[in-house]
Amino acid sequence: MIYVHVPFCRSFCTYCAFYSEIAGRDCGKAYDGYLDSLLGEIGSRKEEISSPTEVDTLYIGGGTPSVLPLSVLGRIIGALKDIRPQGFSEFTVEVNPDDVTPSFASGLRDLGVNRVSVGIQSFDDGILRWMNRRHDSAGAAEAFRNLRDAGFGNISIDLIFGIPQLTETVWTETVRKALELRPEHISAYQLGVDEGSALADLAAEGKWKDAPEENCHAQYDILCRELSLAGYRHYEISNFALPGFEAVHNGAYWGRIPYVGLGPGAHSFRRVDGTETRLWNSEELKDWKQEGEILSPEDIRTERIMLGLRTDRGMEAAELESLAGKEAVDALKEEGALTDIPDSSSERIRIPEDRFFVSDEIIRELI
């Protein structure tokens, strides 16, 4: 399981705080420095990359991986395939609609990519301008068609709700426009203020206020209803898929499966002889360094509860009760905040879908 971070964007979105640098017209030297350092890291971590893993996936994210020339992406992929010649069962690349020409889409297929995540975010042009996105609604639909025409049968799109100026009517139209495309997967996130983003600066200056919680909840309910009617499985708090198209790579994160993170700002998770370690790379375009910390028993307990209850599979009842205490679990079941999963092969407990929106509050009661 491998993640590669591409730290380049043509412009910065209002809400984003992921590490990235502007990719201007004369960015060849920046690409070269990044590529040399990334190939060096791949070589130095060859043993980790080649080790057998429970999940055999590759995810290239960012930033905006689609700003890289196909030749640069090809060198990254080639270096990884030299170490893992068997390839990857699920190979995802994140793209911005503005970059997805017919030739670029075909080029991704030629590189072995079999899943694409498209950062559409909205089908309302006014909202897209506020977000400082480079595409418009028509461009998003065209990019999706280009990917379909190139032969991609596994496409995910991202959407954002919880924006103060986003009305329920516009949000419903956005969701329905997404469904007209019939992507295999939809990820939908509530807008938040992340440290380091332009939105955080606006909030600090008193120029931004979050949307009322009841508005966000209403938009989440619209999302759940519309996607359920369209046949999508709500398999994780923010993720919906047609049956059989659940994201394997992201599912491994929620399952706390070890992975290798490559590139500046990337994180890794390692488990050796019962010791669990989180590692992270520094945020610089070349010669980044790696730091890490060993997780304490309390860290591990918290993660197991937080991640285990994010999905519709929930957790085994015995595991959750041992981590959180049977009394706390029973109290939340009485309130309807937790429920037994019927017809499961083992006794399992989950947060019901109608409580997913307040899942953070429920999980806090357990940790």
3-class SS of residue 348: strand
Name the band, by pLDDT with cuts 50, 70 and 90, for residue 16.
confident
The answer on pLDDT for 197 being more than 90 is: no
Q: Which residues are CB-contacts of 41 (< 8 A; sequence separation ≥ 6)?
A: 262, 263, 281, 288
pLDDT in tens, 145-178: 999 999 999 999 999 999 999 999 999 999 999 9
pLDDT in tens, 214-263: 999 999 999 999 999 999 999 999 999 999 999 999 999 999 999 999 99
pLDDT of res. 200: 85
ω into 119 cis (within 30 of 0): no
pLDDT of res. 51: 85
Span 205-220, average pLDDT: 91
The pLDDT > 70 percentage for the chain reads 98
Whole-angstrom Cα distance, residue 256 to residue 81? Answer: 24
pLDDT of res. 199: 83
pLDDT of res. 343: 67
Span 24-47, average pLDDT: 87
Answer whether CATH 1.10.10 is correct for domain 297-367: yes
How many CB atoms sit inside 10 A of residue 186's CB? Answer: 25
pLDDT of res. 344: 58
What's the CATH fold of domain 2-253?
Answer: TIM Barrel (3.20.20)
Q: Which residues are CB-contacts of 334 (< 8 A; sequence separation ≥ 6)?
A: none
The answer on pLDDT for 345 being more than 80 is: no
Among 7-11, 59-63, 258-262, whose mean pLDDT is lowest? 7-11
Q: Which residue has the higher pLDDT, 17 or 200?
A: 200
pLDDT of res. 30: 82
pLDDT of res. 165: 93
Task: Locate 35 and state its tokens.
Answer: 């590529």
Task: Locate 137 and state its tokens.
Answer: 């609604």
Span 18-40, average pLDDT: 83
The helix-helix angle for 70-83 and 28-44 (nearest 10°) equals 10
Mean pLDDT value across the chain: 93
Do the two domains 2-253 and 297-367 of this chain adopt the same fold? no
The answer on pLDDT for 297 being more than 80 is: yes
Beta strands across the sheet bearing 267-272: 267-272, 275-281, 290-294
The answer on pLDDT for 96 being more than 70 is: yes
Whole-angstrom Cα distance, residue 219 to residue 141? Answer: 22
Domain segments of the chain as ranges = 2-253, 297-367
pLDDT of res. 239: 98
Q: Rounded to two decimals, what is the model's pTM?
A: 0.93
Do 245 and 322 meet the contact criterion of CB atoms below 8 Å apart? no
